[in-house]
Amino acid sequence: MNKFVSRRELLSLIGKTGATAAVLKASTALGLVPETNVQFPDIPSVNPANRPAVVILGGGISGLTTAYELDKAGYDCVVLEAAPKAGGRCMTVRSGDLIDEVGNPQICEFDDEPHMYFNAGPARIPSTHRNLLRYCRELGVELEIFVNENKEAYVQDDAMFNGKPIKNAAVTTSARGFMAEIMAKNFTGHELDQPLNQYEAESLLSAIRSFGDLSEGDVFKGSTRSGYAHGGFIEHGVQKDVADFSELLKTDFMRMILGQNEGETGPVLFQPVGGMDKIVQGFTNKLEGKIYYDVMVASVNLNNGDGVEVTYEHKGMKYKIQADYCFNCIPSHLMTGIENNFDDNYIEAMRYVRRGEAYKSAFQAKTRFWEKDDIYGGISWTNQKIQQIWYPPHGVFKDKGVILGAYDYGGGMHFTKLSQEERLETAIRQGQKVHPEYRDQVEKGITIAWHRMNHMLGCAARWARNRDGMTADEERLYRTLQQPAGGRHYMIGDQISVHSAWQESAILSAHWAINDMVKRQSGISTMPGQKLS
Amino acid sequence: MNKFVSRRELLSLIGKTGATAAVLKASTALGLVPETNVQFPDIPSVNPANRPAVVILGGGISGLTTAYELDKAGYDCVVLEAAPKAGGRCMTVRSGDLIDEVGNPQICEFDDEPHMYFNAGPARIPSTHRNLLRYCRELGVELEIFVNENKEAYVQDDAMFNGKPIKNAAVTTSARGFMAEIMAKNFTGHELDQPLNQYEAESLLSAIRSFGDLSEGDVFKGSTRSGYAHGGFIEHGVQKDVADFSELLKTDFMRMILGQNEGETGPVLFQPVGGMDKIVQGFTNKLEGKIYYDVMVASVNLNNGDGVEVTYEHKGMKYKIQADYCFNCIPSHLMTGIENNFDDNYIEAMRYVRRGEAYKSAFQAKTRFWEKDDIYGGISWTNQKIQQIWYPPHGVFKDKGVILGAYDYGGGMHFTKLSQEERLETAIRQGQKVHPEYRDQVEKGITIAWHRMNHMLGCAARWARNRDGMTADEERLYRTLQQPAGGRHYMIGDQISVHSAWQESAILSAHWAINDMVKRQSGISTMPGQKLS
């Protein structure tokens, strides 16, 4: 009698959506697909004889966007950047580059070749991120297609098939088959709010059958969709064995795999040819002489509604700038440690924003061993701490390549507690479970813990402490930080967005702030409702 | 009481798998993923003083593969090609190219730019087609990722939402949501052959919820996966309305969309940079002086097991070649019209193979209007005769592009009955239902009906007349045509494969024939079973 889970038990499981929903929402990296409703800035040109002075703190994507747009409109812009290069988290690592992790600085030793790079921060551009794509076009950044899901890549879970890696196609095809069988056998139409007519019912069943590739009688007997065991071209194809469904249920990846191809990774994805920081270069090429590097901001003070005074240090010297406007993408938790005269609410908001953690590592591969396995780009998933292995979609057929060997964006940050040697050794040992030849193939590993990177000490901003969204109090703080302090100081960056960790958000934060400045200049009210007096 | 389709009625529908299965199997273009079990040829080098003479009839992919491999091994190869260029159905159309349709020749008037081409035959290389990829690598053919499914492209069906095109993402997300709701509400575990333990049941429910992005209580209330109505970056995102499920059931595309990402279009896909015929050029570069064009084969006769005699015409002159071996990729239905002395079984087999029909058209677009709609590559689907619109994955951000405006591979060949003007006008009129601006945007249309193309008069070979596979008699004929006539004449091409319409099959047919020749030369039996005497 206890052969099956009872209906009551199942209903009880069905009620437990909390845990599942939490998991589903946990990943910013596999997030949602917001649509823009921030207007692209239309900035009135300024009088060349009387150019407003703008100081931009931080040369990340939001700072660069602000500088680029205001410079075009004739503003007198200066960007102060703490690091020796611009881009912030939009960072591509190549031969000779410094990874400036506090306490664990590394120099990248990859071969010096154009395709041998690692996008340590953002690595994907969804085709729905219109503003970022507009800048790529405008700045001449050449794009190529990025591969996210690859059915030929692996899924490996110690609990499933005794830990043997299996092809994503086998998981997906079997899961779809069994799910379709459940649907086709149980579907009566009663579960829908609306009745179905004969045609609609037939259409649904037809879709269900196609979804799962069901055999005669609506059972799943395996599918050639995941390939033949042998034959198929000259000889007749012999179908592969059906992946055991109960094995698939041993892994959480059923959920992962079936949730794929939706959300931000659903649209076509791009990467810039040669590295994500080609976007940064596109901006900096247009801002020659206007960006100052290795600059430590010492104070940011409002001048009674009449501009902002910034002091900073550079090579042991102190400097002061008076500006009409300040746009500030310094992470707010670092900004609170810099002298300022902001009011308490503003500082409370800055302090409230938490920072996500994110860890990535990468290796140079001596040969493109994954290509021998029909893998070109995409992701293998594993239940181990490394979580993912990414294969480069570019440089196909070349001798070597750079692969992502670990990507931890919320799994307890196991790696950051380890020494550099242990980080790499762990990644190699775990990678071997997916690719037995891994240890012999990978070398010159690098690691990046964004929450320990100098000048950042944090990854994506996080506003809501509860997964259900912002509380009223959080909403108040969020709106406080979006408003210009003293009408002249704007916080920018993904820290004033509800969709952090994407470059599009950084760009839109800049657009939002610029639009607000333009409105204030024109005397257009920025208050909700109609202006009465 | 008649609000719902009754369970009996549904069971009756479920039983009607015939029609559905037929549709599912109908498309060669969305076919299966066979795995190779033909060995890559290992050809013993021949004595340079005594090079066997090989004549290859037809310079399609199978003929070129044969010539390339045998030439490398020292054979004295000659390729006779009927057309003025090699490649067969591997054809890329550019400015000035002739489309040699019988009765409807056209010269392509696209702008003369590297990205302004149309792959009129094969246009996708699955990453599982190892042999083709091996040649791309060996021949220096640069590859780039091809986009097949694009969630930002459209689905348009006159029956659905009053014919309004809707984004693929909206269809997919809603369909997944409703399917998941059906599963979650009905699943009891009893439909499975094996019992589930608590963990497995939880795992399955979790996967179902993730698949459909179900809300609390396991109902589908829409999902931000298909984007927000507005907001989502700086402002909170407001979810789009749920696509009405009963509208989705009005279209056959539910089946199409949900069956996507499996089979031959499931793996990562490639296209050669600059056009599919870069593969042809890769081969012909290696065969300089060995391919003769505009050659009409007049006779193919076996010399009593001692080779093959071929006569042909070129520019009004007749010629004769004596060869030790002949490899022949002339379409078998055309070959039966050429003088020969093959035995009756061989000729019966040649006559038996039918030829598929396929029609494509393409337009030059004055602007890349689809990119304004977040579409970069991929396919829009419509229930109209044009069936599909393909957007180029290359040339992103350039001024113009070439789009596929119709792809009919089994819909009754509506277009081929029409004049060239009517073909293009119909495609424009139908394209307007997907893109209202279509008529203003497209120009310089071309059309290609493969079953009417000179020297081909047919598309992919088709062996089985019944969708259940080959009959015993068909199997006999299939094996007959795979054997060398007189031990010296090999038919090659996808016409001796069970997976026609893919270049991989053409390549493997060549490998199969070469391997057979090598075995016979070494005295290795090619008969099944063990050789006794």
Domains and CATH numbers, chain A: 51-87+278-354+470-521 (3.50.50.60), 92-123+356-452 (3.90.660.10), 153-260 (1.20.1440.240)
Q: Cα B67 to chain center, whole Å?
A: 24
- Kindly report the nearest CA distance between residue B524 and chain A, in angstroms: 20
pLDDT along chain B (533 residues), means of 10: 35 33 27 63 93 97 98 97 98 98 97 98 95 97 95 92 90 85 70 66 83 86 81 86 79 72 77 98 98 98 91 96 97 97 97 95 98 95 95 97 93 87 98 98 98 94 88 96 96 95 96 96 69 62
**A472 contacts in B (CB within 8 Å)?**
none
d(CA A189, CA A187): 6
- Kindly report the nearest CA distance between residue B173 and chain A, in angstroms: 8
pLDDT band for position A217 (cuts 50, 70, 90): confident
d(CA A468, CA A99): 36
**Mapping DSSP to helix (H, G, I), strand (E, B) and coil, where does residue A186 land?**
helix
Please, is B140 exposed, middle or buried when counting C-beta atoms within 10 Å of its C-beta (0-12, 13-18, 19+)? exposed
Q: Which helix (H) or strand (E) holds B243?
A: none
Q: Do B262 and A229 touch (CB under 8 A)?
A: no
Q: Do A251 and B203 touch (CB under 8 A)?
A: yes
d(CA B228, CA B34): 40
Q: Do B36 and A172 touch (CB under 8 A)?
A: no
**B130 contacts in A (CB within 8 Å)?**
374
The pLDDT mean for chain A works out to: 87
C-alpha to C-alpha distances, A227 to B264, B364, B430, nearest whole angstrom: 9, 36, 36
Q: Taking Cα atoms as reference points, which of B250, B423, B327, B294 lies closest to residue B78? A: B327
Strand partners, B382: B156
**Mapping DSSP to helix (H, G, I), strand (E, B) and coil, where does residue A98 land?**
strand
**A256 contacts in B (CB within 8 Å)?**
210
pLDDT band for position A527 (cuts 50, 70, 90): low
Residue B398 pLDDT: 97
Is B210 in the A-facing interface, judged by CB distances under 8 Å?
yes
- Kindly report the nearest CA distance between residue B106 and chain A, in angstroms: 33
The DSSP bridge pattern shows strands A125-126 and B166-167 to be unpaired
pLDDT, tens digit, for every residue of A50-86? Answer: 999 999 999 999 999 999 999 999 999 999 999 999 9
Q: Do B5 and A196 touch (CB under 8 A)?
A: yes
Q: Do B216 and A249 touch (CB under 8 A)?
A: no
Residue B153 pLDDT: 93
Residue located via tokens 């677009």: B365
Residue A278 pLDDT: 98
pLDDT, tens digit, for every residue of A144-177? Answer: 999 998 989 999 999 888 999 999 888 888 888 8
Report CA torsion sign: A96, A100, A106, A108: negative
Q: Do B186 and A186 touch (CB under 8 A)?
A: yes
Is A5 in the B-facing interface, judged by CB distances under 8 Å?
yes
Q: Do B152 and A201 touch (CB under 8 A)?
A: no
**B528 contacts in A (CB within 8 Å)?**
none
Helix ranges restricted to H, B84-160: 130-138
Is B184 in the A-facing interface, judged by CB distances under 8 Å?
yes
Q: Which residues contact A19 (CB under 8 A, 6 or more apart)?
A: none
Strand order of the β-sheet with B339-340 is B317-323, B308-314, B295-302, B339-340
Question: How many C-beta atoms surround the C-beta of residue A96 within 10 A?
Answer: 10
**A10 contacts in B (CB within 8 Å)?**
187-189, 201, 205
- Kindly report the nearest CA distance between residue A370 and chain B, in angstroms: 12
Which residues 286-345 of chain B have a CB within 8 Å of chain A? none
Residue A12 pLDDT: 37
CA atoms within 13 A on the CB side of B373: 23
Size of interface A-B (CB pairs under 8 A): 414
Q: Do B210 and A24 touch (CB under 8 A)?
A: yes
Is B227 in the A-facing interface, judged by CB distances under 8 Å?
yes
**B3 contacts in A (CB within 8 Å)?**
195
Is B13 in the A-facing interface, judged by CB distances under 8 Å?
yes
Residue B292 pLDDT: 98
**B234 contacts in A (CB within 8 Å)?**
38, 482, 496-498, 505, 508-509, 512
Is B436 in the A-facing interface, judged by CB distances under 8 Å?
no
Is A378 in the B-facing interface, judged by CB distances under 8 Å?
yes
Is A270 in the B-facing interface, judged by CB distances under 8 Å?
yes
Which residue of A224, A268, A378 is in closest CB contact with B150? A268
Q: Taking Cα atoms as reference points, which of A513, A353, A492 lies closest to residue A60? A: A492
Q: Are A103 and A419 in contact (CB under 8 A)?
A: no
Which residue of A7, A21, A268 is in closest CB contact with B188? A7
The DSSP bridge pattern shows strands B295-302 and B92-93 to be unpaired
Q: Are A12 and B207 in contact (CB under 8 A)?
A: no
Paired tokens of B243 = 């696509």
Q: Do B34 and A245 touch (CB under 8 A)?
A: no
pLDDT band for position A189 (cuts 50, 70, 90): low
Strand partners, A335: none
d(CA A328, CA A491): 5
DSSP code for A374: T
Is B130 in the A-facing interface, judged by CB distances under 8 Å?
yes
In chain B, what is the straight-line distance between the N-terminal and C-terminal CA atoms, in Å?
Answer: 77
- Kindly report the nearest CA distance between residue A39 and chain B, in angstroms: 11
Is A213 in the B-facing interface, judged by CB distances under 8 Å?
yes
Which residues 159-178 of chain A have a CB within 8 Å of chain B? 169, 172-173, 175-176, 178
**Region A317-325: what's the mean pLDDT?**
97
- Kindly report the nearest CA distance between residue B292 and chain A, in angstroms: 28
CA atoms within 13 A on the CB side of A123: 25
Is A37 in the B-facing interface, judged by CB distances under 8 Å?
yes
Better-predicted residue by pLDDT, A216 or B98: B98
Please state the three-class secondary structure of A327-379 as a single string.
EECCCHHHHCCCEECCCHHHHHHHHHCEECCCEEEEEEECCCHHHHHCCCCEE
Q: What is the DSSP string of A97-141?
A: -EE-BTT--EE----S-TT--EE-S---EETT-HHHHHHHHHTT-
Nearest chain A residue to B229, by CA: A35
pLDDT, tens digit, for every residue of A101-152? Answer: 999 999 999 999 999 999 999 999 999 999 999 999 999 999 999 999 898 9
**A380 contacts in B (CB within 8 Å)?**
none
Q: Do A210 and B24 touch (CB under 8 A)?
A: yes
Q: What ipTM does the predicted assembly reach?
A: 0.88
Paired tokens of B396 = 């992103």
**B192 contacts in A (CB within 8 Å)?**
178, 182, 245
Q: Do A191 and B186 touch (CB under 8 A)?
A: yes
pLDDT, tens digit, for every residue of A351-406? Answer: 999 999 999 999 999 999 999 999 999 999 999 999 999 999 999 999 999 999 99
Q: Do A263 and B137 touch (CB under 8 A)?
A: no
pLDDT, tens digit, for every residue of A425-461? Answer: 999 999 999 999 999 999 999 999 999 999 999 999 9
Which residues 67-86 of chain B have a CB within 8 Å of chain A? none
**A246 contacts in B (CB within 8 Å)?**
194, 196, 200
Residue located via tokens 């407003």: A52
Q: Cα A414 to chain center, whole Å?
A: 20
DSSP code for B87: B
Q: Do B266 and A225 touch (CB under 8 A)?
A: yes
Q: Are B163 and B301 in contact (CB under 8 A)?
A: no
Q: Do A209 and B20 touch (CB under 8 A)?
A: yes
Is B482 in the A-facing interface, judged by CB distances under 8 Å?
yes
Q: How many residues does chain B have?
A: 533
Is A145 in the B-facing interface, judged by CB distances under 8 Å?
yes
Nearest chain B residue to A3, by CA: B195
Is A204 in the B-facing interface, judged by CB distances under 8 Å?
yes
Where do the DSSP E strands lie in A13-136? 53-57, 76-80, 92-93, 98-99, 106-107, 118-119, 125-126
Which residue of B34, B143, B397 is in closest CB contact with A231? B34
**Mapping DSSP to helix (H, G, I), strand (E, B) and coil, where does residue A6 land?**
coil
**A179 contacts in B (CB within 8 Å)?**
179, 183, 207-208, 211
